[in-house]
Amino acid sequence: MIESIRGRSLLTLGDLDRQAILEVLDTAESFVEVNRRSIKKVPALKGRVVASLFFEESTRTRLSFETAAKRLSADVLSLAVASSSVKKGESLRDTIATIDALGIDAVVLRHRSSGAAVQVDRYVPHVRVINAGDGLHQHPTQGLLDAFTIRQVLAERAGTTGVESAGELFAGLRILIVGDIRHSRVARSDIDAYVALGATVRVAAPGPLLPEGVEEWPVEVVADFDEALQWADVVGLLRLQAERGSGSFVPTLDEFTRTFGLDERRAALLSPRCLIMHPGPMNRGVEIASRVADSAASVVERQVANGVPIRMAVLYLTVAGSSEGIRA
């Protein structure tokens, strides 16, 4: 297990230990303060070049990463490689080599294919690769910002700070993840982070939307959704990935909503202090009712806001975290 992401690529949360995750959360805490200043900029990555390479459309993740890089004073190369310009079949290796030739310190990579970031990391071992979501595999910064958001809210309630609480607030914390687990890279990263931090994780989904081999995962598959809602301290909802064909894994969207949607009746079963999370973009009226999404229990906007400090922390630790091995 990796104890720190300093000077390394961030491809998955699956091989990070508790210490490595807490280091990112604590580092992000210091950047929250930067984001509250009138001049939201520190010189940590001055002179560094971060390439933002999104092979799959994503407005919020891309904006969040680019904002984070700019607030660290890095130069950002934002490359238009949406599906229109990179034809299917073009070599990923060639695209990366071209960008590498421009002189970069880090690549933030989003790709529709699982493992793309792992492959790119092999192609350019001297460049830090930050996985911004690869297929169904991992979305590490989302997992980190979700853990960060939970810690932040719980610390506030406890009258302490995230850094002081370290990971203690996660001990025995009951987290329920609901919906399209099979097709969700967010679920995979969330589970890795929560379990490493000591939480108890349950998952609830229609049978076909559970991943193969889930019985070997460090989670419990929920038999009674209503009971699990009463049990949970945190409920994390997932977007039904219609673009990945999830629609054909359940009979109808309506039936999915009736059986696994967080509607108002089910929201009433939640403990009053339960947090409701969603990585966005939400399908209102499908996995979550609109009123529930906008209720006081929802921390969806905090998740978005925390994206910037978490990505600042990840860029800072991976790129500036080690002086050797990074090109001058």
CB of 109 to another protein, least distance (A): 11
- Beta carbons within 8 Å of 280's beta carbon, 6+ residues apart: 60, 239, 300, 303, 304
Q: What are the φ and ψ backbone dihedral angles of 105, each rounded to 5 degrees? A: -100, -30
Q: How far apart are CA 319 and CA 33, in angstroms?
A: 21
**CB closer to another protein, 133 vs 307:** 133
Of 43, 3, 5, residue with least CA distance to 128: 5
Q: How far apart are CA 298 and CA 293, in angstroms?
A: 6
Angle at 291 between CA 170 and CA 205, to 5 degrees: 55
- Is 93 an interacting residue with respect to another protein (CB under 8 A)? yes
Q: What is the DSSP letter of 268?
A: T
Of 213, 239, 216, residue with least CA distance to 303: 239
Out of 135, 198, 247, 285, the residue judged to bind another protein by CB under 8 A: 135
- Is 87 an interacting residue with respect to another protein (CB under 8 A)? no
Out of 118, 221, 269, 326, the residue judged to bind another protein by CB under 8 A: 118
**CB closer to another protein, 43 vs 213:** 213
| Residue ranges in 162-221 that form contacts with another protein under rule CB under 8 A | 185, 188, 211-214, 216-217
**CB closer to another protein, 216 vs 324:** 216
CB of 168 to another protein, least distance (A): 28
- Is 35 an interacting residue with respect to another protein (CB under 8 A)? no
Amino acid at 293: A
- Is 94 an interacting residue with respect to another protein (CB under 8 A)? yes
CB of 244 to another protein, least distance (A): 10
**CB closer to another protein, 153 vs 201:** 201
* Element holding 50 (H helix, E strand): strand 49-54
Q: Give the range of 38-46, 92-100, 200-208, 262-270 binding another protein by CB under 8 A.
A: 92-100
Q: What is the DSSP letter of 160?
A: S
Residue for token pair 């009433």: 268
| Residue ranges in 2-21 that form contacts with another protein under rule CB under 8 A | 14
CB of 170 to another protein, least distance (A): 22
Q: How far apart are CA 272 and CA 284, in angstroms?
A: 22
- Is 285 an interacting residue with respect to another protein (CB under 8 A)? no
**CB closer to another protein, 39 vs 101:** 101
- Is 115 an interacting residue with respect to another protein (CB under 8 A)? yes
Q: What is the DSSP letter of 79?
A: E
Of 304, 328, 316, 289, residue with least CA distance to 8: 316
Q: Enumerate binding residues for another protein (CB under 8 A).
A: 14, 88-89, 91-94, 111, 113-116, 118-119, 122, 134-138, 185, 188, 211-214, 216-217
